[in-house]
Copies of this chain bind each other. A is one copy, B any other.
């Protein structure tokens, strides 16, 4: 039986990962010691050093690896054939650059002198800048490949690796690089390791990312600011008009009222909702952290569904009239607002934009006007919950961790996932082993030793599972 054979092949790889743990720690420490802060030009040399280090490491593992120059920090690209020609081709993505470390005095230890330490809760942690975001995470994949090579002399799938050095500073070079090297980088799907587990016992795959449409609207009434004594009660007030437009965006059930807004929005499958329900996330818990309590969106849906799987209309900024100290009895000539929409499923950003503009125009009095300014648009990303690759990755993760893996959504977007989809026509499987208390971007960043160790084992299991028929 084929699957029995496969399990036989995997076990020695997992054992080798266990045996290699101490050495793999020494390797990730080497990488963390390189202060590859991408946003600060003073560290450009360190960024290149990190890229060189990774390229050398991959070359040693038998990859065809190279450092590629960009107008910013270099990319690392590496290729390795799979054991069988019919196994899938995967692109693994991570980033070797890190966030700045100031204020330095809030760190308990030197951010670039990593060590394994005991956390207050008793867990073993690896401390240092980049341990969780993203050096420790990307090394879980590299170490899984190493164990595979050491045991079998091969990898179960054909693997391309892309390590970026500008993720923390805007990824200016990424799109041009993907466009210029689309043929080389295109794989069957991407594996992206820059996300978190649900909790320390429960691995997660992010299967949905909301898209985003940004719009700025300016309502113009009179051709100048007016005195509210002289004109008040007779002249149109653009703040009133704008308030009415914005108030009309939602009905009393919290639903967005723009016609056709929900076109292309599918209901989340019941089994997925049940899975989310079982995670036990409460509104009190989620909102309590920021001083709130009551979910404000569509009624009758859980916090997780609202933030992962439902579209929104949100006013991100508003300004009009006199906003300084004191008071001025003015009826302003204009008022404006920045409005964004989080998109899910097959919602079309440009259709949403057009429907929103129609909705606004219908609410502007005949003697007033409105102008629109576009602030970008990208569709949501939703992997089919029943796709074989997701199911295989889910099973592999469930085999490794105490709790079964959950498929989760993400309220925001991860640009590289959209770029892979738009430029390479490639979906991404987002698996990562970060925890919510890893303090990424903050002082005292850490990565759980268990994440580092079981992360390697998880990737070995996933590569193994993906190669199975």
A residues bordering B, Cβ < 8 Å? 210, 212, 214, 216, 221-224, 226-237, 239-240, 242-244, 246-250, 283, 286-287, 290-298, 303, 306-307, 310-312, 314-323, 326-332, 335, 337-338, 340, 342, 365-368, 375-376, 410-413
Contact = CB atoms under 8 A, between A and B. Distances in A.
B290 A327 contact: no
A332 B337 CA distance: 13
A250 B241 CA distance: 11
Given A214-B327, A320-B318, A338-B321, A312 B233 contact: yes
A240 B246 contact: yes
B283 A234 contact: yes
Contact of A376 (B321, B323, B327, B367): B327
18 contacts: A222-B290, A222-B291, A224-B290, A226-B290, A227-B412, A229-B412, A232-B312, A233-B311, A233-B411, A234-B295, A243-B244, A243-B246, A287-B367, A294-B367, A314-B331, A317-B323, A318-B318, A327-B375
Contact of A234 (B306, B316, B326, B337): B306
Given A214-B327, A316-B331, A318-B318, 16 more contacts: A226-B290, A228-B342, A229-B342, A234-B296, A234-B297, A235-B292, A240-B296, A243-B247, A293-B367, A296-B365, A316-B329, A317-B328, A317-B330, A318-B335, A319-B323, A329-B412
- Oligomeric state, in number of copies? 2
Contacts of A249: 240
A319 B316 contact: no
A18 to B, nearest CB: 36
A348 to B, nearest CB: 19
B322 A316 contact: yes
Contact of A322 (B229, B244, B338, B365): B338
Contacts of A323: 317-319, 338
A368 to B, nearest CB: 8
A440 B21 CA distance: 86
Contacts of A326: 375
Nearest to A283: B234
Given A243-B246, A293-B366, A318-B323, A411 B229 contact: yes
B340 A327 contact: yes
Nearest to A319: B323
A209 to B, nearest CB: 9
A311 to B, nearest CB: 8
Interface centre among A221, A227, A231, A326 (most CB of B within 10 A): A231
Given A234-B306, A247-B244, A296-B365, A320 B321 contact: no
